[in-house]
Amino acid sequence: MLKIENISKSFGEVQALSSESFEVQEGEIFGLIGQNGAGKTTTFRIILGLMKPDQGFITFNNQKVDDEVLNQIGYLPEERGLFPKMKIEDQVVYLAELKGQSRTITKEKIDEYFEKFEIKGKKTDKLKSLSKGNQQKVQLMVTLIHDPKYIIFDEPFSGLDPVNAQIFRDAILEEKKKGKCIIFSSHNMDNVDELSDQLIMLKNGKVILDGTVKDVRNSYGRIKVFLESQLSAEDLEQIAGIKELKEKDGRFEITLNDPAVGKEILTKAQAKGNFQEFSQQPLSLDEIFKIKAREN
């Protein structure tokens, strides 16, 4: 278990983090979200021991950060940091050795990871000869090849095409099945919704949202209706309690002021005859993110 307890950090007059607390259990994926400058990178740097908090504690299974713990962490940074002119195998072996894994074991694993991540190239190639997507997959291999217990992915899907993004998702989910503690940040709320068991949202260094994805979404109520029926826009505009109405190809996306209004919409749709779709759902995580980001 990774435990963050009341972490605060300031840089001069700027309060980067203020009493941040959360826990990541074994076999859990934890989403850390927020706008640029919210405190995500500062959180990661403190976890990695690159920066000391002004107050608060970080423990890994009740053990404070030391070299033994750091060797058990895999970190994929947002800004990729490998050596472009160095052969892939040489730097993978070197970086895994820094984490305490023998050169022999790493060399035995490299072919397996090339195949698993569908890396187009040879392990004897220099990194710069690979496409950007394949370079990112080499970075993923470096992050995981020493079998870390705790893994941090900082914007892992940035710049990836859909096929390579799925390879990354599959890799993250495989590590979860192995019982790893995983934290990741992303500006794509679809990824956060799909992968996260728990999440927190930071704003100006403060936690403003936390819980399971389901609980966070349900806390706003089921105020989103998707409707395809005989009702027209004019019919719907006569219903009190509709906050926003969008239409595309005869399908309506309706935001309500009150979830109870959904029943009235359904009743009117039924009265018009057969209808193709009625679905009442919570707001998406992306919509909630935008609401919280705009709040004072």
**Which pLDDT score, from 0 to 100, does residue 168 have?**
96
C-alpha separations of 222 from 20, 275, 281 in Å: 29, 20, 5
Model-level pTM? 0.89
β-strand pairing of 28-34 with 55-60? unpaired
CATH value of 220-294 in 3.90.700.10, 3.30.70.980, 3.30.365.10, 2.40.30.20: 3.30.70.980
Where do the CATH 3.40.50.300 domains begin and end in the chain?
2-217
Q: CA-CA distance, 289 to 276, in Å (whole number)?
A: 30
Q: CA-CA distance, 231 to 254, in Å (whole number)?
A: 13
Task: Classify domain 2-217 at the CATH class level.
Answer: alpha beta
Q: CA-CA distance, 209 to 217, in Å (whole number)?
A: 11
Those residues whose C-beta lies under 8 Å from the C-beta of residue 94, and which sit 6 or more positions away, are none
Chunked in runs of 10, what are the mean pLDDT values of the chain (296 residues)?
95 94 96 94 94 94 87 91 93 96 96 96 94 94 97 93 95 97 94 95 95 94 95 94 93 95 95 93 94 86
**Which pLDDT score, from 0 to 100, does residue 215 have?**
95
**Which pLDDT score, from 0 to 100, does residue 81 have?**
81
What sign has the CA pseudo-torsion 195, 74, 200, 179?
positive
β-strand pairing of 224-228 with 73-76? unpaired
Where do the CATH 3.30.70.980 domains begin and end in the chain?
220-294
